[in-house]
């Protein structure tokens, strides 16, 4: 199933995903998962398998891409490591419940619908450029464990790094936006790690998965996309200082609506 044309398609996807990640500060899952689903289905893979492999592989990418991001934020001293430590146990629990539990049970069509809702919501937030108002303080360890569980669980269902939940959560709890973004980037690593382990366990004995794969993680896709995305992410970060990001986010939001409709129709047809 792995052919030269597919390598080119995956490389282009990785280059574009890396550029957008550096340019707009978004995770690649919103773009990578639906496009990888198309690539896999074009090679004859069933929807139930292709959707799950695309979501799992896009999450596994974050294990590698988050490391450089965390290092950069840590060097600036903007990561709230106390919050990372408080949320991490819940993230591990929520990730396990999602990736090794609910994700394994749900059909690919249902996951397509969940992903469509997630992309549509994210596109709307991006289009309106909304930011939550700081209205409360961070809760105690029980509250933060519960919050981490929710973040890890939602991320595991859609293959995203959690920034779509963790940044608004932190800002609403009086964490300055710069610290919220940096801390969210640091949270991306445990989110990706624990969910990836769950995807591996969930798909370990599935005979329908194409080789070579590690559970639901498709290794060729992971290798090509991750290696290409790290090439363009720095370029996107440099371009971010010169371009009108508000206008770019609105353009990207409409593109996300298109992907949302695609995944919605895929889920309904399945």
Tokens 């300055």 belong to residue? 176
Candidates 199, 167, 185; CA nearest to 54 is 199
Predicted pLDDT of residue 216: 95
pLDDT score, position 171: 87
Quick check: 104 and 53 in contact, CB under 8 A?
A: no
Q: How many helices (H) and strands (E) does the chain have?
A: 11, 2
The 10s digit of each residue's pLDDT in 205-218 is 888 898 889 999 99
Tokens 């669980």 sit at which residue?
153
**Whole-structure pTM value:** 0.87
Give residue 152's pLDDT.
92
Which backbone phi and psi does 112 adopt, to 5 degrees? -60, -40
Of 37-41, 126-130, 167-171, 257-261, the range with the lowest mean pLDDT is: 126-130
* DSSP sequence for 69-83: HHHHHHHTT---HHH
Domain ranges of the chain: 4-269
* Choice between 179 and 11, residue whose per-residue pLDDT is larger: 11
Mean pLDDT, rounded, of the chain: 85
- The pLDDT assigned to 74 comes to 81
| pLDDT of 148 strictly over 90 | yes
pLDDT at 240: 61
- Segment 224-241 shows an average pLDDT of 78
Most confident range (mean pLDDT) of 43-57, 116-130, 171-185 is 43-57
pLDDT confidence bin for 241, thresholds 50/70/90? low
How much is the pLDDT for 81? 95
Judge whether residue 177 has pLDDT over 90. Answer: no
């Amino acid at each position: 199933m792995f052919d030269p044309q597919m390598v080119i398609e995956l490389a282009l996807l990785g280059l574009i995903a890396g550029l957008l990640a550096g340019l707009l500060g978004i995770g690649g899952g919103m773009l990578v998962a639906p496009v990888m689903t198309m690539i896999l289905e074009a090679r004859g893979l069933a929807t139930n398998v292709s959707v799950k492999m695309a979501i799992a592989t896009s999450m596994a990418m974050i294990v590698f891409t988050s490391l450089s991001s965390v290092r950069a934020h840590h060097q600036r001293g903007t990561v709230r490591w106390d919050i990372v430590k408080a949320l991490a146990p819940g993230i591990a629990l929520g990730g396990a419940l999602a990736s090794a539990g609910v994700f394994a049970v749900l059909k690919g069509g249902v996951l397509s619908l969940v992903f469509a809702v997630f992309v549509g919501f994210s596109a709307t937030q991006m289009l309106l450029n909304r930011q939550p108002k700081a209205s409360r303080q961070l809760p105690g360890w029980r509250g933060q464990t519960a919050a981490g569980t929710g973040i890890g669980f939602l991320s595991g269902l859609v293959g995203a790094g959690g920034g779509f939940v963790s940044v608004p959560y932190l800002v609403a709890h009086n964490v300055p936006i710069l610290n919220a973004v940096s801390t969210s980037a640091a949270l991306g690593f445990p989110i990706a790690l624990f969910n990836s382990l769950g995807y591996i366990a969930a798909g370990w004995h599935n005979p329908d998965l194409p080789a070579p794969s590690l559970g639901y993680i498709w290794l060729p896709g992971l290798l090509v996309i991750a290696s290409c995305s790290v090439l363009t992410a720095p370029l996107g970060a440099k371009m971010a200082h010169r371009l009108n990001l508000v206008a770019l986010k609105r353009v990207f939001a409409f593109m996300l609506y298109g992907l949302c409709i695609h995944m919605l129709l895929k889920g309904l047809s399945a």
